[in-house]
Amino acid sequence: MKNYLFKQLRFVRENTINLVAEMNDEASLFIPEGFNNNIKWNLGHIYVVQEKFAFYFIKERMIMSNNFSELFTTGTKPINWGDQALPTISELIQLLENQIDRIEQTLEFRLKEVIETPFTTSTGLTLSTVEELLSFCLYHECMHFATIKSYKRIIQDERKDKGI
């Protein structure tokens, strides 16, 4: 029997993907006034954090372009991207779609595995097992889901104001 955690990871991810499924690259790059990031950054960040939490801490192979860490890790901002090659929104969606399958296939029987060095989040929560790392990903992705949803609303309002 599958662990409930994979069902929840899939549910959250499907909602994230559905939120941006019709978005184009131009809209995904819009940075609302007063914010540091855009929708593309949030999607890339979700992917990078989940790769790290699912695979890095247990020394499994991560699937990430070389520049993803520079583009999407905590503390990075699109304003600092310069002329780096960016993934398209379609490429990010494809990566996000495939990620949960890879996580489930790799970790289905490893959830109770203790990681070598516990990880403490920026908010002070210490994570010690694969299951704890993946559970935290639910919280993390939902935070960014809410941000993306807000950004979409701002983009729609701006377009409405401009009569587009």
Q: What is the pLDDT of residue 158?
A: 79
Model confidence pLDDT, tens digit, residues 118-136? 999 999 999 999 999 999 9
- E-strand stretches of the chain: 114-120, 126-129
Q: How many CA atoms lie within 13 Å of 2's alpha carbon, on the beta-carbon side?
A: 12
| pLDDT greater than 70 at residue 164 | no
Query: pTM for this one?
Result: 0.95
- Provide the 3-class DSSP secondary structure of residue 69: helix
| pLDDT greater than 60 at residue 63 | yes
Distance (Å, whole) CA 18 – CA 29: 18
Model confidence pLDDT, tens digit, residues 85-130? 999 999 999 999 999 999 999 999 999 999 999 999 999 999 999 9
